[in-house]
Amino acid sequence: MNWHKIETDIPEQDFVKQIQINGKKLCLLRHRERLFVVQNSCPHAGGILSGGWCRNGHLVCPIHRWEYNLENGRGAAGQGDYIDIYPIETREDGIYVGFRESWIKKLFRK
């Protein structure tokens, strides 16, 4: 696992925002007092998930309002899709997000 420090202000209250790690745009959010880092592009039609909002444990895409479960990434019933959720680790010097080698090839394709 490769860990990258999240270099941005992280509000205490709920929020959804875009961040960049190694030039890759991701979606950072806090919902029900938990932080999540998920992919930023909606698998339905490419909507920007960091422009969305959270509801009942789900991230809602702002374009067609499809929903993704923040526990497992699964789309709501009938959608048949999912989003990637990345592990987070709190360290003394900040919050880190982890990527497996196989994810790095997909995420940071050069």
Verify binding: residue 4, ligand FES, rule CB under 6 A: no
DSSP class of residue 22 equals T
Report how far residue 13's alpha carbon sits from residue 47's, in angstroms, rounded to the nearest whole number. Answer: 24
38-57: contacts with ligand FES (CB under 6 A): 42, 44-47
Residues 98/86, Cβ–Cβ less than 8 Å = yes
Task: Pick the piece of the chain touching ligand FES (CB under 6 A) from 4-12, 13-21, 26-34, 62-70.
Answer: 62-70
Verify binding: residue 61, ligand FES, rule CB under 6 A: yes
Residues 41/32, Cβ–Cβ less than 8 Å = no
65-84: contacts with ligand FES (CB under 6 A): 66
Max Cα distance, the chain (Å): 42
Give the footprint of ligand FES on this chain (CB under 6 A).
Answer: 42, 44-47, 61, 63-64, 66
